[in-house]
């Protein structure tokens, strides 16, 4: 039976790999009906999940007891997707009844996939407001697998400050050093075949060098007396190469693995149909051809290393080429290490990106049905290591005696796409460097050849790590709102990484938080140009355009986004912003509500909805919205700001100050927030404090005109007219066309008794006003609309009063003031007529 | 219709100063200084012909209209849930299509409820064709705050009995969303820093 089911499984995986989910589901259903094993159950659930039907997978798995970790993980994943967090947590860490599993228990239970499990668990904890536990989980997950980014991101978002230098380094990963040699050995085992294969493509890409090194490695490996049992190999290698590395598990575990492997190879010999299409997972073919390495460890390599290190290798290059390259490498200068750092990440990233499509290939390699339960780590490994696929394919290709055309092409295209032409030298350089360093340790000078291959891979991984470190630093800075630092760090990324949607979006967001909307718009429009399919971050872009009042660009953006993805909250936020700018608040509210419907965990949509309700003066609803936003994400400072704003409107100034302060604690660099706090403090009659706050704000962002304006108005209110005037004169330099500035200057002059200058400034204020807002200033001049409600008489009356005094002056001034006064009155009359 | 037929004969002789049409209220909304709040109110009518009621009065469509079906004065009552600042009332009337159904004398009253309404404005319309803006201000020229507005059609053109009203809109002044009691700023450079969003 088990033998028979292998071709079916292969067919299912093939269908999955070709996104033919209906076929995969159908076949998996048939298979499950036939055998009813947990393996088949898992396969069926996977098919459901991959076809986007998490609820199906959930109910299926729920209806059957799941014992294997991979089933448990999938079930938990479904639970989280369906926001059944408690259930998900119970599955992962044991419920209230059972003893809660410690992280170590989880690691032992889930083996290599523990990093993903912990990350998921961390997500659950954070969603249920247990941030401390959540961050523990994330950190553990990262320490297990530093290639994971999302736990790091989540850590930053919940306000933790993980150290990127500590997080993204290989030594922090205990398995890693041990898994690296494993990959080498596997490749070695493949290599025998690759030699035989005449058709293999000769390319002088860096991959070749790698392959070459692998060849070297292989030859040296053959020296080992253990006859290529991987487990022993890995054990030795790990011990040799990284003295600090803990050997993989206990010896017994290794032994058991070996034991499991043996029967498997036999079975796959029977079951592996060699005629399967080349794209299918190698499906037991591999052990057929190379019986020596047990596939368990083979798989494990991939899991541990997440195979990011295995660069897809195309064909076996001739040794000549290799040596030449390596020679060149040694000659080149070490000082170029910065360069090499830039290059290596490509390799890695490339492999990573190619991963997901073929992620499941390893599945078929190990017919695990008969395997004893402690084979878990291996199995789970094939599930979760998506990146191994490419190498898998290659290896499989190599194993099979006929050169399969499709995979060949595929791999080739992949490598070409990466655009890696220069790195050969750098890579080798890196290797040699590493080599020498290792040798200098005096431990393993004899094993240099293998180590060269190993170090090559390690260099690639190291390169990725350094990239992740830089990005991590940038992201961390952004999440703690050190926006300038974030921009600085991210701008120094290598240009091919800089010019990607993710990086540019983060930079755009940093500019956005700095209120440098022009810059932000520039960056985001670049993002739109290079990745017009990008949705994440576009809500920030839309708000940027809202601030800049670019209605055309905003409506183009919102149309495009809503056409592209109606299920993303970002698109609806953009649409809402678009209508908000058109002042069609009711429609905007509908769209923001839709954004919330689409994703109830999207904090920004609540905030935007809240702002919209504030504009329509439905303050109760707005309060609820902002509170919801904070519930979803307590570090969403915009919502705290919104609350403060509402309290300010309700003249509950101390509450307003408190909420603004909360927002400021999250984003201490925001001059706009500081400015608001200053105004509130002034309203609370703490003028000295207000001035301090405003000074701080001006220090942070000297370009923020509103801070200066408010400082001037506070000075004005405190009757420090001279300094207010000076402030306003400076302000005039920054925003020469803002009528409000002239308006305030006019008021100061009026206080100083210089009515002529006052009237002149008032008339300028009105001249600068485009017709829309005109009324308000007219009203302000017309009526008692002054910031300090201390003037009982309307301004118009005052102007009239002042007029007689003015007439004493020179004829010129009299004339001008007359016209001004007339003007004012005229406008006032107009405004009355409406 | 028949009641208004007689009035039609007098059509030619009325050509004094026509009431000039005001601006489209949509333009006002775009400026951001006012906001329509009719949707927050409860609307009622003294009478209406079936199918020509509040829905037609509020549907943003100038082709449809409310037609009264009773004795004068014809009343439109707008009641708010809370005391609301009202700045302007916009009424659309079209003499060209409605002829003797076009109101000629309108009274606007405000108050807390039906029993303490006070007239604040009465206006005469002469062959209006377009939007009529009725500013609702107190003697100090400040927008009024009220629970209820009543619009009464006291007379129609040519002594027509029933009346047509095509649209009514109620506007409230928009408060500046920034803090500080300053009027609206005018440049984007300034406005950008006004708020966080």
- Say whether residue B188 is in contact with chain A using an 8 A CB cutoff: yes
- Say whether residue B15 is in contact with chain A using an 8 A CB cutoff: no
Residue A187 pLDDT exceeds 80: no
Of A64-73, A191-200, A658-667, minimum mean pLDDT range? A191-200
Of A279-288, A618-627, B135-144, minimum mean pLDDT range? A279-288
Of A33-42, A379-388, A458-467, B64-73, minimum mean pLDDT range? A379-388
- Chains A and B form CB pairs within 8 A to the count of 127
State residue B64's pLDDT score.
Answer: 93
Q: Are strands B167-173 and B103-111 parallel, antiparallel or unpaired?
A: unpaired
Rounded Cα gap, residues A779 and B87, in angstroms = 13
With both helix axes pointing from N to C terminus, report the angle between A69-81 and A38-50 in degrees, rounded to the nearest 10: 30
Residue B89 bridge partners (DSSP): B134, B170
Rounded Cα gap, residues A770 and B33, in angstroms = 13
Q: Which of A795, A817, A798 is nearest to A807 (CA)?
A: A817
Rounded Cα gap, residues A831 and A154, in angstroms = 54
Residues of B in contact with A707 (CB under 8 A): 193
pLDDT band at A95 (very low <50, low <70, confident <90, very high): low
pLDDT band at A149 (very low <50, low <70, confident <90, very high): very high
- Say whether residue B133 is in contact with chain A using an 8 A CB cutoff: yes
Is B160 in contact with B67 (CB distance < 8 Å)? Answer: no
- Report the SS3 class of residue A294: coil
The 10s digit of each residue's pLDDT in A352-386 is 444 344 343 344 333 333 334 443 344 444 444 44
Residues of B in contact with A648 (CB under 8 A): 179
Q: Which residue of B has its CA nearest to A663?
A: B196
- Say whether residue B142 is in contact with chain A using an 8 A CB cutoff: yes
State residue A769's pLDDT score.
Answer: 74
Under an 8 A CB cutoff, do A645 and B195 touch?
A: yes
* Beta-carbon contacts of residue A499 (< 8 Å; ≥ 6 apart): A526, A530
Average pLDDT over residues A505-534: 94
Q: Which of A622, A624, A604 is nearest to A613 (CA)?
A: A622
State residue A239's pLDDT score.
Answer: 38
* Beta-carbon contacts of residue A402 (< 8 Å; ≥ 6 apart): none
The 10s digit of each residue's pLDDT in A228-272 is 444 334 343 443 444 443 444 444 444 444 444 443 333 333 333
Residue whose pair of structure tokens reads 């498997």 in the numeric block: A264
Residue A293 pLDDT exceeds 60: no
Instruction: Choose from A700, A705, A768, A795 for mutation: most chain B CBs within 10 A.
Output: A705
Rounded Cα gap, residues A828 and A371, in angstroms = 90
Residue A64 pLDDT exceeds 50: yes
Which of A611, A710, A789 has its CB closest to that of B197?
A611
The 10s digit of each residue's pLDDT in A674-733 is 999 999 999 999 989 999 999 999 999 988 888 999 999 899 999 899 999 999 999 988
State residue A638's pLDDT score.
Answer: 94
Rounded Cα gap, residues A602 and A593, in angstroms = 11
Rounded Cα gap, residues A528 and A541, in angstroms = 10
- Say whether residue B49 is in contact with chain A using an 8 A CB cutoff: no
Under an 8 A CB cutoff, do A543 and B182 touch?
A: no
Under an 8 A CB cutoff, do A772 and B33 touch?
A: yes
Residues of A in contact with B138 (CB under 8 A): none
Rounded Cα gap, residues A695 and A716, in angstroms = 15
Is A675 in contact with A699 (CB distance < 8 Å)? Answer: no
* Beta-carbon contacts of residue A496 (< 8 Å; ≥ 6 apart): A346, A419
Residue of higher predicted confidence among A15 and A200 = A15
How many other CB atoms sit within 10 Å of the CB of residue A272? 26
C-alpha distance from B33 to closest chain A C-alpha (Å): 7
State residue A171's pLDDT score.
Answer: 65
The 10s digit of each residue's pLDDT in A597-608 is 999 999 999 999
Mean pLDDT taken over chain A: 70
Residues 64-93 of B with CB under 8 A from A: 88
C-alpha distance from A763 to closest chain B C-alpha (Å): 15
State residue A774's pLDDT score.
Answer: 53
Is A58 in contact with A75 (CB distance < 8 Å)? Answer: yes
Residues of B in contact with A582 (CB under 8 A): 30
Instruction: Choose from A583, A684, A694, A771 for mutation: most chain B CBs within 10 A.
Output: A583
With both helix axes pointing from N to C terminus, report the angle between A150-157 and A448-479 in degrees, rounded to the nearest 10: 30
Under an 8 A CB cutoff, do A834 and B187 touch?
A: no
Residues of A in contact with B81 (CB under 8 A): none
Q: Report residue A696 CA to chain centroid gap.
A: 32
State residue B72's pLDDT score.
Answer: 87
Residue of higher predicted confidence among A280 and A595 = A595
The 10s digit of each residue's pLDDT in A101-146 is 788 888 888 888 889 999 999 999 998 888 999 999 999 999 888 8
Instruction: Choose from A616, A732, A830 for mutation: most chain B CBs within 10 A.
Output: A616
Is the N-terminal amide bond of A374 cis, ω within 30° of 0? no
State residue A339's pLDDT score.
Answer: 40
C-alpha distance from A671 to closest chain B C-alpha (Å): 9
- Report the SS3 class of residue A99: coil
Q: Report residue A154 CA to chain centroid gap.
A: 9
State residue A29's pLDDT score.
Answer: 94
DSSP assignments along A461-490, one per residue:
HHHHHHHHHHHHHHHHHHHTT-HHHHHHHH
DSSP 8-class letter at A801: H
Q: Which residue of A has its CA nearest to B135?
A: A834
State residue A426's pLDDT score.
Answer: 47
Degrees (nearest 5) of the Cα angle B165, B119, B137? Answer: 90
DSSP assignments along B154-176, one per residue:
EEEGGG-SS-EE-EEEEEEEPPP
Residues of A in contact with B30 (CB under 8 A): 582-583, 772
Rounded Cα gap, residues A550 and A704, in angstroms = 20
Rounded Cα gap, residues A429 and A195, in angstroms = 26
Under an 8 A CB cutoff, do A547 and B191 touch?
A: yes
Q: Which of A253, A295, A249 is nearest to A271 (CA)?
A: A295
Residue of higher predicted confidence among A630 and A833 = A630
Residue of higher predicted confidence among B33 and A50 = A50
State residue A773's pLDDT score.
Answer: 53
Q: Which residue of A has its CA nearest to B184?
A: A773
The 3-state DSSP composition of chain B as helix, strand, coil percent (nearest 5) reads: 20, 40, 40
Residues of B in contact with A614 (CB under 8 A): 177
C-alpha distance from A83 to closest chain B C-alpha (Å): 28
Which of A515, A641, A832 has its CB closest to that of B193?
A515
Residues of B in contact with A679 (CB under 8 A): 179-180
Residue A59 pLDDT exceeds 50: yes
Which of A547, A583, A663 has its CB closest to that of B192?
A547
Under an 8 A CB cutoff, do A583 and B32 touch?
A: yes
B74-86: strand order across its sheet: B41-45, B74-86, B144-156, B103-111, B118-124
Which residues of chain B have a pLDDT value below 70? 1-16, 175-184
Q: Is the C-alpha dihedral spanning A801, A804, A809, A810 positive or negative?
A: positive
The fraction of chain A above a pLDDT of 90, given in percent, is 39
Average pLDDT over residues A56-71: 89
State residue B4's pLDDT score.
Answer: 53
Rounded to 5 degrees, what are φ and ψ at A494?
-55, 150
Residue A801 pLDDT exceeds 70: no
- How many helices (H) and strands (E) chain B has is answered by 5, 11
Residue whose pair of structure tokens reads 């290709």 in the numeric block: A397
Rounded Cα gap, residues A180 and A393, in angstroms = 19
Strands (E) across chain B are located at: 34-36, 41-45, 66-67, 74-86, 88-94, 103-111, 118-124, 129-135, 144-156, 164-165, 167-173
Rounded Cα gap, residues B105 and B13, in angstroms = 18
Residue A299 pLDDT exceeds 50: no
């Amino acid at each position: 039976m088990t033998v028979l089911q292998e071709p079916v499984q292969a067919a299912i995986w093939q269908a999955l790999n070709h996104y033919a989910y209906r076929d995969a589901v159908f076949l998996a259903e048939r298979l499950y009906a036939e055998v009813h094993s947990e393996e088949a159950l898992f396969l069926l659930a996977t098919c459901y999940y991959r076809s986007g039907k998490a609820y199906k997978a959930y109910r299926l798995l729920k209806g059957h007891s799941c014992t294997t970790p991979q089933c448990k993980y999938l079930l938990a994943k479904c639970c989280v997707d369906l926001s059944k967090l408690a259930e998900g947590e119970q599955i992962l860490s044991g419920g209230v009844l059972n003893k809660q599993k410690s992280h170590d228990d989880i690691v032992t239970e889930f083996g290599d996939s523990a990093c993903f499990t912990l990350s998921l668990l961390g997500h659950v904890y954070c969603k249920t407001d247990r941030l401390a536990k959540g961050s523990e989980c994330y950190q553990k997950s990262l320490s297990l697998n530093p290639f994971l980014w999302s736990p790091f991101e989540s850590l930053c978002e919940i306000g933790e400050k993980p150290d990127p230098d500590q997080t993204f380094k290989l030594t922090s990963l205990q398995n890693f050093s041990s898994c690296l040699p494993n990959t080498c050995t596997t490749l070695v085992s493949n290599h025998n075949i690759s030699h035989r294969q005449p058709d293999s493509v000769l390319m002088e890409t860096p991959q070749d060098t790698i392959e070459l090194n692998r060849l070297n490695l292989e030859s040296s490996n053959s020296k080992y007396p253990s006859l290529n049992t991987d487990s022993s190999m890995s054990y030795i290698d790990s011990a040799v190469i990284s003295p600090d590395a803990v050997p993989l598990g206990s010896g017994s575990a290794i032994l058991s693995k070996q034991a499991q492997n043996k029967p498997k190879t036999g079975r796959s010999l029977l079951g592996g149909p060699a005629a399967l299409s080349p794209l299918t997972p190698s499906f037991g073919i591999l052990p057929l051809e190379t019986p020596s390495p047990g596939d368990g460890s083979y798989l494990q390599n991939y899991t541990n290393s997440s195979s990011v290190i295995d660069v897809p290798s195309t064909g076996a290059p001739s040794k000549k080429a290799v040596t030449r390259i390596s020679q060149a490498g040694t000659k080149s200068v070490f000082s170029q290490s910065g360069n090499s750092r830039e290059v290596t990440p490509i390799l890695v990233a490339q492999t990573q990106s190619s991963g997901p499509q073929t992620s499941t290939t390893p599945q078929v390699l190990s017919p695990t049905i008969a395997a004893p339960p402690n084979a878990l780590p291996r199995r789970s490994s094939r599930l979760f290591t998506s990146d191994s696929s490419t190498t898998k394919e290659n290896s499989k290709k190599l194993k099979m005696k006929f050169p399969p055309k499709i995979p060949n092409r595929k791999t080739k295209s992949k490598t070409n796409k990466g655009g890696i032409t220069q790195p050969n030298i750098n890579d080798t350089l890196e290797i040699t460097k590493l080599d020498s360093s290792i040798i200098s340790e005096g431990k393993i000078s004899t094993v240099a050849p293998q180590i060269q291959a190993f170090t090559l891979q390690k260099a690639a991984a190291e390169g990725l790590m350094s990239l992740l470190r830089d990005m991590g630093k940038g992201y961390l800075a952004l999440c703690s709102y050190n926006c300038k630092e974030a921009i600085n760090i991210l701008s120094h990324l290598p240009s091919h990484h800089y010019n990607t949607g993710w990086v540019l979006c983060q930079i755009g967001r940093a500019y956005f938080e700095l209120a440098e909307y022009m810059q932000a718009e520039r960056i985001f429009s670049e993002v739109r140009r290079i990745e017009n399919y990008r949705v994440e971050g576009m809500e920030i872009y839309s708000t940027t355009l809202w601030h800049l009042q670019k209605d055309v660009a905003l409506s183009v953006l919102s149309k495009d986004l809503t056409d592209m993805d109606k299920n993303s909250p970002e698109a609806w936020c953009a649409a809402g912003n678009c209508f908000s700018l058109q002042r069609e608040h009711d429609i905007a509210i509908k769209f923001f509500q839709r954004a919330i419907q689409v994703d109830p965990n999207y904090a920004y949509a609540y905030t935007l909805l809240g702002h919209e309700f504030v504009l329509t003066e439905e303050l109760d609803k707005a309060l609820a919205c902002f509170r919801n936003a904070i519930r979803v994400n307590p570090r969403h400072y915009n919502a705290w700001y919104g609350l403060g704003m509402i309290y300010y409107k309700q003249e509950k100034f101390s509450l307003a100050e408190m909420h603004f302060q909360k927002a400021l604690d999250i984003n201490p660099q925001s001059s706009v927030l500081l400015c608001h706090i200053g105004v509130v403090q002034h309203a609370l009659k703490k003028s000295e404090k207000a001035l301090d706050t405003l000074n701080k704000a001006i220090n942070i962002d000297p370009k923020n005109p509103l801070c200066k304006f408010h400082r001037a108005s506070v000075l004005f209110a405190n009757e420090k007219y001279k300094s207010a005037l000076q402030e306003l004169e400076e302000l005039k330099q920054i925003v020469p066309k803002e009528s409000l500035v002239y308006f305030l200057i006019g008021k100061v002059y009026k206080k100083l008794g210089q009515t002529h200058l006052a009237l002149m400034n008032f008339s300028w204020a009105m001249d600068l006003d485009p017709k829309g807002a005109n009324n308000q200033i007219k009203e302000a001049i017309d009526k008692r609309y002054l910031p300090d409600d201390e003037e009982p008489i309307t301004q118009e009356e005052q102007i009239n009063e002042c007029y007689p005094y003015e007439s004493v002056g020179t004829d010129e001034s009299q004339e001008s003031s007359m016209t001004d006064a007339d003007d004012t009155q005229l406008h006032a009359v107009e405004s009355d007529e409406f | 219709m028949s009641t208004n037929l007689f009035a039609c004969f007098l059509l030619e002789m009325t050509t004094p100063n026509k009431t000039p049409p005001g601006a489209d209220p949509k333009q006002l909304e775009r400026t951001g200084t006012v906001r329509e709040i009719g949707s927050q109110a409860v609307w009622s009518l003294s009478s209406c012909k079936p199918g020509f009621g509040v829905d037609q009065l509020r549907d943003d469509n100038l082709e449809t209209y409310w037609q009264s079906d009773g004795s004068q004065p014809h009343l439109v009552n707008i009641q708010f849930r809370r005391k609301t600042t009202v700045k302007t009332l916009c009424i659309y009337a079209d003499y060209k299509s409605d002829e003797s159904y076009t109101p000629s004398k309108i009274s606007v009253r405000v108050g807390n409820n039906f029993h303490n309404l006070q007239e604040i404005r009465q206006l005469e319309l002469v062959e209006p064709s377009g939007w009529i803006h009725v500013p609702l201000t107190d003697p100090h020229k400040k927008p009024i705050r009220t629970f209820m507005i009543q619009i009464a059609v006291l007379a129609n053109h040519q002594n027509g009995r029933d009346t047509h009203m095509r649209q009514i809109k109620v506007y409230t002044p928009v408060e500046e969303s920034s803090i500080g009691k300053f009027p609206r700023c005018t440049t984007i450079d300034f406005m950008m820093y006004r708020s966080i969003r």
